[in-house]
Amino acid sequence: MNEATAQIALSDAMHREAEALEEVLSSLLEPASDQEPRVLDAMRYAVLGGGKRVRPFLVINTARLFDVADDFSLRVGAAVEFVHCYSLVHDDLPAMDDDDVRRGKASCHRAFDQPTAILAGDALLALAFEVLGHPLTHSDAEIRCELTTSLATAAGSRGMVGGQMLDLRSEDVTANISRIARIQQLKTGALIEFSCDAGAILGRADVRKREALRRYSRDLGLAFQIKDDLLDALGEELQVGKATKKDAAAGKATFVALLGIEGAKRRADFLCNQAIGHLEIFGAEARHLAELAEFAVGRQS
């Protein structure tokens, strides 16, 4: 398969998975008589109709390595997407990254207001764990508990929240590569690592295969973040779908700031190739995961 054909195959797969996920997300966000409609409207605004759905794609495709039915992995993918969208809503707030645009449209707090956006984010986080705890996600309560614990760790102070705190404190602070990598392993990488580990949990994977997916996810997460740094430095807002050139203006420590444009590109390419190498144990079954690593460093948004 040549590179162009592989890219088309990945694009088709991501589109197909995103459409299936959208149905699950929409059904989980259906209006109910006991819900406050404005909060639900803000939740639906933040989640539906946008995004690359990379994290759910990882859940679905790692789970398929172990012959897990999509009905299970789509629900886990929805849970991680709820957590991801909650983090974007809160990151965009004036007290955090202060962004007015997200996924090519007004940020949630701009479309509604700050209190509503905060509550919508809180509700999405809670909904994620409601979904994981439901028997429809898996019939085995031990697997549901492991998924819940793993996502809680990835989303909390030892994961995404901790990374965001370190990132906020990094402005105008001299940092080295190790510190920046640590920030991004927590802020971006933790949910990506969970997404790959979730497929292994659902599939009751052995230790060797589970570790291979963890190594893949860690390299993928860093490559993904380096590309985000490059897009912020080089991209245009309309193409990227959010404000650009903000990191340099804020004095943030990034891979681009330390390595320069070309150095950051080389580091991303190295991580991409290393991530693909970790998938050798799965053979051709992991083709889409390998292609996703290439997509992560080649994307324009």
For residue range 154-213, what is the model confidence (pLDDT) as tens digits? 999 999 999 999 888 876 666 788 888 899 899 999 999 999 999 999 999 999 999 999
Does 150 or 104 have the greater pLDDT score? 150
Integer Cα distance of 228 and 301 in angstroms? 8
Arithmetic mean of pLDDT over the chain? 90
Q: pTM of the predicted model, to two decimals?
A: 0.91
Report residue 252 CA to chain centroid gap: 21
Does 242 or 95 have the greater pLDDT score? 95
pLDDT at position 33 is 83
In this predicted structure, the answer to whether residue 152 has a pLDDT above a threshold of 80 is: yes
Integer Cα distance of 117 and 113 in angstroms? 6
pLDDT at position 2 is 45
Compute CA distances 20 → 12, 48, 92, whole Å. 12, 12, 27
Q: What is the pLDDT of residues 17-55, one digit of tens each?
A: 999 999 999 999 999 888 899 999 999 999 998 888 999
pLDDT at position 1 is 44
